Amino acid sequence: MVVQKFGGTSVADPDAVRRLIEIARAPRARDGRGPVVVVSALSGVTDTLLAIAAEAGAARADQALAHVGRLRERHLAMARALAGDGALAALTSQIDAQFDELTAVVCALAVLREVSLRTLDVIAAMGELLSSRIVAAALVHAGLPAEWVDARRAIVTNDDHTRAAPLMRETTAALRALVVPLVADGRVPVLGGFIGATAEGHTTTLGRGGSDYSGAIVGAGIDAGEIQIWTDVDGMLTADPRIIPQPRLVPRLSFAEAAELAYFGAKVLHPSTIHPAVERNIPVRILNSRKPGGAGTLITAEPNPDGHELTAMAAKRDLTVVDITSSRMLMAYGFLRRVFEVFERFRTAVDVVTTSEVSVSVTVDDRRHLDSIVEALSEFAEVSIEGEMALLCAVGDRLRAEPEIAARVVRVLEEMPLRMISQAASRRNITVIMRQTDLPHAMHRLHEEFFG
Ligand code: ADP
Ligand code: ASP
Ligand code: MG
């Protein structure tokens, strides 16, 4: 049985959903059951919902409501194009009820002038609640026995709103109760990705791009044979196609490589997607919903058999480098503990760390608590920060055994000032930090050298 996750562009309009329907028929024809379908919000909708929340919180209710009106129209038009006549009235009233709720929330926020993370999740979750209902109705109209499942009942998370983590034991129990019986009964369960709820029933979201993660959580929870991520590119590419115009398709990846690439910025996979698949050893495939016949990228536990020196590269922008220098000159025992305790206290993850005798440099992505972090670090160290930095990460299983490859990566970038260089124990990646303005040139140089 297969779990198929469709991203925003793969459900963006009626034609995209028609392609989805044909894609969902294929595993059913082969396996005689399934698939389980997980969908993102229609493309752009999550961004708009977050903009609506921000406008409402800033008391710009008119602007927010104008956006709400346009979103409502877009979803109703999708429903009219895709649902059967018999089901349209019910679907329309569900969509209207969702937008009436959104309107009420916007009006309340405009008065309160404050948006809590919990409320933000209620608003952000509406995109997937709507798209999943529309897709379920479209599948039914196309003759597939689809059944909408409320993902807030199936994915149980902690209460870390806007970046909640699933509680796998509870989630697996919920999936076994809600989704597995539907599959056994020959149905096609359809869930919204990205969303869940706490055990108390408060709506949560898994972080931007989190529908991939939902697809993998569902796959692991129901012991799927494969998790398919349907998107708008042919698979994992050797580099971000928004920076490198003609990257190559990577046909095979190991779980370890995929996890590194996703963590270090390959947007095609949410950073946590691979973990549930690893737990149950379920293959993940990335596929292009516009070219359903393509082979895509297959990700499994096996080391990448393709044998290229590097497998792919990834990049992250908008990083800040924090340099922390011990004021006692020599790096005292316990210094690193104190440094990282500060990042922990402010719940800020660091991506890359390098050290010298007297200083530590780290990169952070999340700037929300940066001022407080600098203040706390300044109590025992000299601190300076530098923004607009970028990370470039080259990944490949062969880096482990062949140190020459890492040396070549650094040599290719030699005319660029590299702020930090790091290779950790897994030695599956080499990561460099540079000024953001140097990133495109650096990526071109590396891509030309290793994939040109
Ligand atoms: P979806 O809405 O289907 O989840 P996303 O926009 O989240 O799609 O992810 C797909 C996008 O990821 C691609 O359109 C591409 O621009 C970007 N991307 C960045 N790095 C890579 C990479 N190495 N391989 C493939 N796509 C990448
Ligand atoms: N709709 C959510 C987002 O845009 C989740 C996703 O598409 O994966 O972040
Ligand atoms: Mg995505």
Domain boundaries, the chain: 2-232, 312-451
- Is 233 close to ligand 1, i.e. is its CB under 6 Å away? yes
- Which of 356, 350, 275, 259 lies closest to 311, judged by CA? 259
The superfamily CATH assigns to domain 312-451 is VC0802-like (3.30.2130.10)
Helix and strand numbers, DSSP H then E, in the chain: 16, 17
- Is 166 close to ligand 2, i.e. is its CB under 6 Å away? no
End-to-end distance of the chain based on CA atoms, in angstroms?
38
The two three-digit tokens of residue 391, written as one number? 């990370």
- Is 209 close to ligand 2, i.e. is its CB under 6 Å away? yes
Q: Whose CA is nearest to atom 5 of ligand 2?
A: 209
- Is 40 close to ligand 1, i.e. is its CB under 6 Å away? yes
Helix or strand run (H / E) with residue 3: strand 2-6
CA 334 from centroid of its chain's CA atoms? 35
Q: How far is the CA of 195 from the centre of ligand 2 (A)?
A: 9
pLDDT score recorded for residue 303: 84
Token look-up 């509870």 returns: 170
- Is 237 close to ligand 1, i.e. is its CB under 6 Å away? yes
* Ligand nearest to the backbone CA of 45: 2
pLDDT digits (tens, 9 = 90+) for 396-422: 989 988 989 999 999 999 889 999 999
Q: How far is the CA of 284 from the centre of ligand 3 (A)?
A: 15
- Is 312 close to ligand 1, i.e. is its CB under 6 Å away? yes
Q: Is residue 340 a contact partner of residue 376, using CB atoms and an 8 Å limit?
A: no
Pocket test for ligand 2, best of 9, 75, 126, 194 (most atoms within 8 A of CB): 194
Q: How far is the CA of 262 from the centre of ligand 3 (A)?
A: 11
Query: Ligand 3 (ion): which residues have CB within 5 A?
Result: 7, 209
pLDDT score recorded for residue 330: 59
pLDDT score recorded for residue 215: 98
pLDDT digits (tens, 9 = 90+) for 321-372: 999 998 765 556 788 899 999 999 999 999 999 988 788 999 999 999 999 9
Low-confidence ranges of the chain (pLDDT < 50): none
Q: How far is the CA of 270 from the centre of ligand 3 (A)?
A: 6
pLDDT score recorded for residue 426: 77
pLDDT score recorded for residue 331: 59
pLDDT score recorded for residue 70: 98
Burial 283-299 (b: 16+ CB within 10 A, else e): bbbbbbbbeeeeebbbb
- Is 219 close to ligand 2, i.e. is its CB under 6 Å away? no
Rounded Cα distance, 3 and 24, in Å: 10
- Is 232 close to ligand 1, i.e. is its CB under 6 Å away? yes
pLDDT score recorded for residue 355: 87
Q: Whose CA is nearest to atom 21 of ligand 1?
A: 240
Pocket test for ligand 1, best of 47, 214, 233, 250 (most atoms within 8 A of CB): 233
Question: Given the CA of residue 209, which atom of ligand 2 is nearest to it?
Answer: 8
Pocket test for ligand 2, best of 46, 49, 269 (most atoms within 8 A of CB): 46
Rounded Cα distance, 242 and 435, in Å: 18
Nearby residues of 126 by Cβ (< 8 Å), 6 or more positions away: 49, 98, 101, 102
The superfamily CATH assigns to domain 2-232 is Acetylglutamate kinase-like (3.40.1160.10)
Angle of CA points 346, 347, 351, to nearest 5° = 115
Q: At what angle do helices 117-124 and 85-112 cross, to 10 degrees?
A: 160
Q: How far is the CA of 191 from the centre of ligand 3 (A)?
A: 16
Q: What are phi and psi of 396, to 5 degrees?
A: 180, 135
* Ligand nearest to the backbone CA of 229: 1
- Is 46 close to ligand 2, i.e. is its CB under 6 Å away? yes
User: 18 by DSSP, 3-state: which?
Assistant: helix
pLDDT score recorded for residue 42: 98
- Is 242 close to ligand 1, i.e. is its CB under 6 Å away? yes
Question: Given the CA of residue 313, which atom of ligand 1 is nearest to it?
Answer: 23
- Is 126 close to ligand 2, i.e. is its CB under 6 Å away? no
Sign of the four-CA dihedral 77, 293, 305, 243: negative
Question: Given the CA of residue 47, which atom of ligand 2 is nearest to it?
Answer: 4
- Is 8 close to ligand 1, i.e. is its CB under 6 Å away? yes
pLDDT score recorded for residue 424: 77
- Is 208 close to ligand 2, i.e. is its CB under 6 Å away? yes
- Is 7 close to ligand 2, i.e. is its CB under 6 Å away? yes
The two three-digit tokens of residue 321, written as one number? 């480098």
